[in-house]
Structure 1
Amino acid sequence: MLMSNEFIADAPLYCAVQNYAQANYLRFHTPGHSGHSSALGGILEHILSLDVTELPETDSLFEASGVIRLAEEKAAKAFGSLHTLFSAGGATLCIQTMLRLVSAQGKRKILCARGVHRSVIYTMALLNLEPIWIWPTPSSHSALLGPISSQSVYQTLTKHTDAAAVFLTSPDYYGTLSDISAIHSVCQKFSVPLLVDCAHGTHLHYLNEGKKHPLAQGADLVCDSAHKTLPVLTGGAFLQIGTPAFSLEEAKAAMSIFGSSSPSYLILLSLDLARAWGEQEGVSAFSVLQQRVHKLFVQLKTSSLAPPSGSRDPIRITLDVGKIGLHGDEAASFLHEQGISIEMADQRYLVLLPSVFHSDADFEQLRNALLHLPIHSPLPFAHCAQFEHPERVLLPGEALRLPHIKMMSEDAANHIAADSSSPCPPGIPLLCPGERITPSIIKALQSYGITQINVLK
């Protein structure tokens, strides 16, 4: 899909920086290239002219009152939030901000889906928060990833009425969606805010009238890792505020605690441009992409590579190559030889992230490659689905602050984890700091190639 330039005029931050670049000021400010086109051999000539810092013309991210504030207000209107904050620190900075906001009143418990990203664990450790795990509905992917039911949230809240928040991921890395609307209704009954990591679901704003996006389903705070599925530079994300319980000023102050005081303007510009592009072309572009993905799935039905069932992100391509007897890495290597690079391969699944800029020819190449994958006897489901719930001995923050040593995972039985152990992608901890290591956990770690871990002395 070709991108027109008509939307650019509706991107106030980009226009302000472009005007500044065209004014040809003699720059005696950061960054060190001073906007000179000759820097770095001229390779980044146009980019460097737009790589600026906080100036009267360009505003300041954490004290926004000019073009950044205008750009964020336009984003809030586009996404249907009360406030939208730009992040040049990815979804991680948004997650840090959300957890800081809900813990500001002194409550320490976060009722948390076990399949959260490791950045959630580390942020809770920094803030001395206590995770109370909510385990997902068992799935063929693993014991850690899968939909969280509203019943599970209700049962956990009845046991922990002093919780500061409920924190979930939807969609998860494999594209599975939880029923955020039903979960939000439960949270409302307990007057507990609902936080959702929607890192892989920013595009849901543009599909089905946005009804599957957590913000539209009532979530109070949502992080959108825009760079994952929108035309945004790596590290660009949106923090969406859906409730008046958290003010813009509070959120900016919380974000400034963790964020760099020198955020990348190139990333911020790409967020502004992507929002403007999305308002004009997002719905049509993602509708076409959804049709292409659906067509691919129809074509793959006869090859045992149909997508998983259940409520799913309609553009996430998740394929169980274990059904045709392949380890994920084997299938990924085969595709790589065919000129196709994918997002992630695990023991039996492939995860592919299609873009609105992929063409029909691109999908045809992918289809042909998938249909030529070698076929063997199906692999048994004998991996992380049998993963036991680890025993917590210490809180993550306590364990991370204690002396530790590194040892081979095969020798770590009965030791206490000093750090998280996370295959990345997807960055979901198999083991969290403070948890006791057992033989079955060691087996799960080794199955993901984790042969060394940090344990407490």
Structure 2
Amino acid sequence: MSSAFISDAPLYAAVRAYADAHPLRLHTPGHAGHTDALGGVLGALPALDVTELPGTDSLFEADGPIRAAEEKAAGAFGAAHTLFSAGGATLCIQAMLRLVSRGKERRVVLARGAHRSAIHALALLDLEPVWVWPEPLPGSALPGVVSPRAVERALDICGGAAAVYVTSPDYYGTLADIAGLAAVCREHGVPLLVDGAHGTHLHYLDGGARHPLAQGAALVCDSAHKTLPVLTGGAYLQIAGGWFSRGEAKDAMALFGSSSPSYPILLSLDLARAWGEQHGAPAFAALRVRVDALYGRLAPLGLPPPPGPRDPVRITLDVGRIGLSGAEAAMWLRAQGVSIEMHDDRHIVLLPSPLHGDADFAALGDALVSFPVKDAVPAAAAPALEHPSAVMTPGSALRAPCERLPVEQAAGRVAAEGCSPCPPGIPLVCPGERVSASLAKTLKTYGVNHLHVIK
């Protein structure tokens, strides 16, 4: 694969030029650019780990190479504006909710699968959630997605909202009907916010038609490091035209972001965009072919792709079909030298990369077909989760005096914190919601032993 894309990365070029000049670095960070720091473990990274200097720009006041890199990214992704985040998807989520918090309306319609960072941001911004619960997928034990019809009902009932917020794809790769949700949002005059943390790569599949930005979302959080060759913590905030200005979004990110963002992370975002423009579509097309071939190899075992609209390059297997728990399957694969992303009670989730080649997939296939097959565990619908009643807003609960109790003693009390065991990542309880006796038992089942509650 050609590395010619490197010449099309303006931020990388600026920092590389600085490093190649070999200045005496009397500024942060403390390794001073020495590639032998920490015994040489970091390799060449320190040479490119700089700070805000003349020529290297400043993330939240970008008017030099960072701005040029972000503008190139916006052009590549078809966004009005693309902003870099060295604080991961969390910073993008915080910024999205900050942007919609500035009006009179304090309510946000959210799919209950929202990441905990969204719940924390709601509390800090004193926004009130109006929850919409996912609908189960027929013939599947996966959590499911919210429907446009359910979101429309929520908007009609609450009489107005600052935004609608959904997650797509979810951890298992299930895709929501973003186009349908966007149509509902347009009818109600509210922006659609999408936590697309696990779906940056969708831009490179099917001509980008699966990406939320192409389907009508106003704001999209793309956690690039999850599926692109980007350092951990690298993410893009994608902004569609007509909703928010670049300056407003920069201010929103600066409110929550570190004043010392990591330049290596920012450089990797710049380089990944340049790589993607030259290699992204063919690389992910090849990955898709490999994933399809792997599912074909697993078909005789009774391990098909999951039902419903899905990310075509994420591997989610219901190993209960071959009599294994998710933990047993993960342990078996680990013994074969394969580490997976996560497991629940009956599923395993694997995140292949376009950098994995045929030999990698051959080894993966060999490990999967060697599973010790048992009698199938009968499939059941996704467990019904309790819908706790809200006693106060998350912000009020966050500010209230609280105490930490064994979860068995939390029944009848009001939660002062959220709890989102992963998997499935769906909040079992949010700050300000009352904990019933049955919910306390469910929390215990998911391994939650203590909970902060309002005094």
Q: What is the TM-score normalised by the length of structure 2?
A: 0.96
How far residue 441 of structure 1 moved from its aligned partner, in angstroms, is: 2.0
> What is the SS of the residue equivalent to 1:162?
coil
Unmatched runs of 5 consecutive residues or more in structure 2: none
Amino acid of the residue matched to residue 262 of structure 1? Answer: S
Determine if the alignment matches structure 1 residue 438 to structure 2 residue 402: no
- Separation in 1, partners of 2:292, 2:416: 44
Q: Pick which of 26-35 and 219-228 moved more.
A: 26-35
Partner of 1:303: 301
> What is the SS of the residue equivalent to 1:167?
strand
Write the deviation string for residues 403-431 of structure 1: whole angstroms up to 9, x where unpaired: 22222223322222121112235643221
Determine if the alignment matches structure 1 residue 397 to structure 2 residue 391: no
Amino acid of the residue matched to residue 155 of structure 1? Answer: R
How far residue 345 of structure 1 moved from its aligned partner, in angstroms, is: 0.7
Amino acid of the residue matched to residue 11 of structure 1? Answer: A
- Separation in 2, partners of 1:313, 1:113: 19
- Equivalent residue for 2:116, pick from 115, 118, 121: 118
CA change 1:347–1:447 in 2 (3 A) is: farther
Partner of 2:68: 70
Amino acid of the residue matched to residue 328 of structure 1? Answer: G
Kept in 2: contact 1:221–1:243 (CA 8 A): no
CA change 1:443–1:364 in 2 (3 A) is: farther
Kept in 1: contact 2:291–2:313 (CA 8 A): yes
- Separation in 2, partners of 1:193, 1:31: 39
Write the deviation string for residues 83-136 of structure 1: whole angstroms up to 9, x where unpaired: 000000000000000000011113210000001111100000000000000111
Kept in 2: contact 1:384–1:444 (CA 8 A): no
Partner of 2:359: 361
Partner of 2:160: 162
- Equivalent residue for 1:232, pick from 212, 230, 233: 230
Amino acid of the residue matched to residue 404 of structure 1? Answer: C
Partner of 1:314: 312
Partner of 1:222: 220
Partner of 2:58: 60
How far residue 363 of structure 1 moved from its aligned partner, in angstroms, is: 1.3
Determine if the alignment matches structure 1 residue 153 to structure 2 residue 129: no
- Separation in 1, partners of 2:285, 2:114: 29
How far residue 228 of structure 1 moved from its aligned partner, in angstroms, is: 0.1
- Equivalent residue for 2:292, pick from 288, 294, 298: 294
Kept in 2: contact 1:108–1:128 (CA 8 A): yes
Q: How does 1:169-208 map to 2 (within 5 A)?
A: 169-208=167-206
Kept in 1: contact 2:141–2:379 (CA 8 A): no
Partner of 2:427: 429
How far residue 452 of structure 1 moved from its aligned partner, in angstroms, is: 2.2
Q: Aligned-residue CA RMSD in angstroms?
A: 1.5
Unmatched runs of 5 consecutive residues or more in structure 1: none
How far residue 361 of structure 1 moved from its aligned partner, in angstroms, is: 1.7
Pairs aligned (count): 453
Amino acid of the residue matched to residue 105 of structure 2? Answer: K
Write the deviation string for residues 362-410 of structure 1: whole angstroms up to 9, x where unpaired: 1122222222222233335568612221111121111122222222223
Partner of 2:22: 24
- Separation in 1, partners of 2:417, 2:174: 27
- Separation in 1, partners of 2:367, 2:206: 30
Amino acid of the residue matched to residue 316 of structure 1? Answer: R
- Separation in 2, partners of 1:369, 1:44: 32
Partner of 2:92: 94
Amino acid of the residue matched to residue 282 of structure 1? Answer: G
> What is the SS of the residue equivalent to 1:422?
coil
> What is the SS of the residue equivalent to 1:430?
coil
> What is the SS of the residue equivalent to 2:212?
coil
- Separation in 1, partners of 2:435, 2:339: 35
- Separation in 2, partners of 1:364, 1:448: 35
> What is the SS of the residue equivalent to 2:161?
coil
Determine if the alignment matches structure 1 residue 210 to structure 2 residue 208: yes
> What is the SS of the residue equivalent to 2:237?
strand
- Separation in 1, partners of 2:36, 2:364: 40
- Separation in 2, partners of 1:416, 1:93: 28
Write the deviation string for residues 240-297 of structure 1: whole angstroms up to 9, x where unpaired: 0012220000000111000001100000000000000000000000000001111111
Partner of 1:379: 377
